[in-house]
Chains A and B, each alone.
Chain A
Amino acid sequence: AAGVIQSPRHLIKEKRETATLKCYPIPRHDTVYWYQQGPGQDPQFLISFYEKMQSDKGSIPDRFSAQQFSDYHSELNMSSLELGDSALYFCASTTRGGDTDTQYFGPGTRLTVL
């Protein structure tokens, strides 16, 4: 079965640079979520999109922005990167309908800021 695809899988950036993370949801999934997981921590919700509109917002820094496109893929744009942004960034997808609304996670993008 097709899964959530994230690219790149690994990314190394310098402080103050920008980064773009991409997420391709499971086919026919219309809702995308972004989570940030720091070392040894639990995943923290950043933002979600449903049908190309922002749906819910968590602890996303103002330096970050995201959007969902007409093909339902999503991009997380990160500017003025800081050392503390080094983390594993997960994308998850789901679809409305069904009785569980279960989120399925991609493999993550490991971002290292030097």
Chain B
Amino acid sequence: AQTVTQSQPEMSVQEAETVTLSCTYDTSENNYYLFWYKQPPSRQMILVIRQEAYKQQNATENRFSVNFQKAAKSFSLKISDSQLGDTAMYFCAFKRSTNQAGTALIFGKGTTLSVSS
């Protein structure tokens, strides 16, 4: 069974600074997808960034980038130039790559990020 671990329950950062959220996972699969979702106080689940395991290049979306280390089973999220609107719970999630439709996401416990001015 796959597991996702986020070892930082809470983190805080000042506006304009850079912060890195950690995520490790355990799987025997070779092909899979990894995601970071953001859940602000509105509780909406918003996709931040995604990474395909077969791609060596780290994904980047504007101020958000990942450091994907497949051998170490690590998938950290870096937020550059932090903004107040980045305040949210961040979930790391794993999904097997399979021909079967409807395969579930497995979430970590989340990291609460607070950005202050």
Contact = CB atoms under 8 A, between A and B. Distances in A.
Are A and B bound to each other? yes
Interface string A30-42: 1101010100011
Interface in B60-110: 91, 95, 97, 100-110
A95 to B, nearest CB: 9
Given A42-B109, A99-B52, A55 B45 contact: no
A90 B102 contact: no
Which of B43, B97, B100, B105 lies at the interface centre, i.e. has the most chain A CB atoms within 10 A of its CB?
B105
A49 interface: yes
B103 A43 contact: no
Contact of A105 (B33, B45, B95): B45
Nearest to A45: B104
Interface of B is mostly: loop
Interface of A is mostly: strand
Contacts of B45: 43, 90, 92, 105, 108
Interface residue range, chain B: 20 to 34
B91 A43 contact: yes
Nearest to B54: A99
B100 A55 contact: yes
Interface in B14-68: 33, 35, 37, 42-47, 50, 52
A58 interface: yes
Interface residues of A, number: 31
B104 A56 contact: yes
Nearest to A34: B104
Given A100-B33, A101-B33, A45 B105 contact: yes
Contact of A50 (B50, B102, B104, B108): B102
10 shortest interchain CB distances as A-B pairs: A55-B102, A48-B102, A50-B101, A45-B104, A105-B45, A42-B107, A56-B102, A50-B102, A31-B101, A31-B102
21 contacts: A30-B101, A33-B105, A37-B43, A41-B109, A43-B107, A48-B103, A48-B104, A49-B102, A51-B101, A55-B103, A56-B100, A58-B104, A99-B52, A100-B50, A100-B52, A101-B33, A101-B97, A102-B47, A103-B95, A105-B46, A108-B43
